[in-house]
Each structure stands twice: as C-alpha cells, then as structure tokens.
C-alpha cells in the first residue's frame, strides 16, 4: 500500500532483491499494490502491510507467507533457499554457484597430477558430467573442458580467470554472458 510507512521502508530492499533475480528464469520477485488490487489481496489473505508471499513453481496458493528479515540480504537468502538458486544481493552468482562436489574432488590437485592421473581424472569427470542432472549442466561440462585445456597449458586456470574477469569488468556484456563467465570463474577456482 503506497500510504504504508513499513511498505515505504521495505521498498528499496525489495527492489534490490528483485533486481538480484532479474536473470533467473525460475525465480521472480514481483510487487502488488494491495490497496489498488483489493480483490487479489483478499484472495491471498493479505490483511496487513507489507505482506510478502512465496508462490512456488507448482504452488500458486499463496499460502507460504514470508516471515524473515526485511533487508535485501534476508530476502535474497530466503529466495535462494526456496528457488534453489545461488544469487548474491548484487545479482551475480555466489562463489558456490556452478560448483559440483564430485567434480571439485577431481579438479583439486589436477594440475600437479602426472599424465596418467590426469587422463584418469578426465575420464571420470566426463562420466560424472554426463550423469549430472543438477542445475548447472554447462558448468559440469566446463570442468572437463578445463581439464583438457590444463593438460595443454598448465597455467590455463589462472590465465582464463584473468581473461574472464577483464571481460566482466570491461565493455558492456549481456547479462547471460556475465552469468556464464561467473560460473566459469567459480569452476576454475576448484583447480587453484
């Protein structure tokens, strides 16, 4: 409600949290002026302001009321938990995004391994990436690609992180590409 002082206090935090998820196709944050849309507010049991509701992908009932803190950080953490996402408040990915424990294990110490061990790890990583059914299939494949590139160029992980960071910091890059670059940087951290 536009006249509500608590709503006015929440608005910048809510907008910042919504902006953090602008690149997420499976997780959206939206606002409804319950004062202007009384029928919808009533249908979802809004009796006080502000009221925050979570609507899951398969549950449009609006029965899940958000009871957490009222900062952007609190809202982003809640949405990450509910949506299975890994966004930071600034909209980028958290350092854990794209990381896959089984592949991290194979990546650790990869550069120092002998040639036979590297080939064995690449084979295991390729099988793990092919079997992976989680949120980050392109990241899973990137572990394998990175391993192959490290075989050819041992300092690949470090130089690629620098290259990707320059692109992120440089010219205008599409949001989808920024996400892709961030995931690659996260994966490459497993090799260092």
Bridge partner residues of 56 (DSSP): 59
Active site residue 5: yes
DSSP single-letter state for residue 35: T
Q: Which residue has the tokens 């090799």?
A: 191
Tokens (6 digits) for 172? 């205008």
DSSP single-letter state for residue 63: E
DSSP output for 97-164:
TT--HHHHHHHTTTTTS-HHHHHHHHHHHHHHHHH--SS-HHHHHHHHHHHHHHHH-TTHHHHHHHHH
Closest CA to 176 of 24, 14, 64: 24
Distance CA 38, CA 63 (A): 17
Active site residue 7: yes
Tokens (6 digits) for 90? 């600034």
Active site residue 6: yes
Active site residue 83: no
Q: Which secondary-structure segment (H or E) carries 64?
A: strand 59-65
What are the catalytic residues? 4-7
């Amino acid at each position: 409600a536009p006249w509500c002082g608590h709503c006015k206090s929440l608005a910048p935090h809510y907008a910042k949290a919504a902006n953090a998820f602008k690149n997420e196709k499976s997780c959206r944050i939206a606002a409804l002026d319950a004062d202007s849309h009384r029928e919808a507010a009533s249908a979802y049991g809004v009796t006080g302001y502000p009221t925050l509701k979570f609507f899951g992908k398969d549950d449009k009932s609006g029965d899940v009321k958000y009871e957490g803190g009222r900062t952007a950080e609190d809202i982003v953490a809640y949405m990450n938990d509910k949506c299975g996402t890994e966004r930071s408040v600034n909209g980028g990915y958290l350092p854990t995004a794209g990381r896959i424990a089984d592949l991290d294990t194979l990546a650790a110490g990869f550069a120092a391994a002998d040639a036979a061990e590297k080939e064995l790890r690449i084979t295991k990583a390729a099988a793990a990436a092919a079997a992976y059914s989680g949120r980050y299939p392109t990241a899973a494949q990137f572990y394998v690609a990175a391993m192959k590139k490290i075989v050819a160029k041992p300092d690949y992980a470090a130089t690629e992180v620098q290259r990707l960071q320059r692109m992120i910091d440089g010219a205008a890059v599409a949001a989808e590409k920024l996400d892709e670059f961030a995931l690659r940087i996260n994966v490459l951290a497993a090799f260092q």
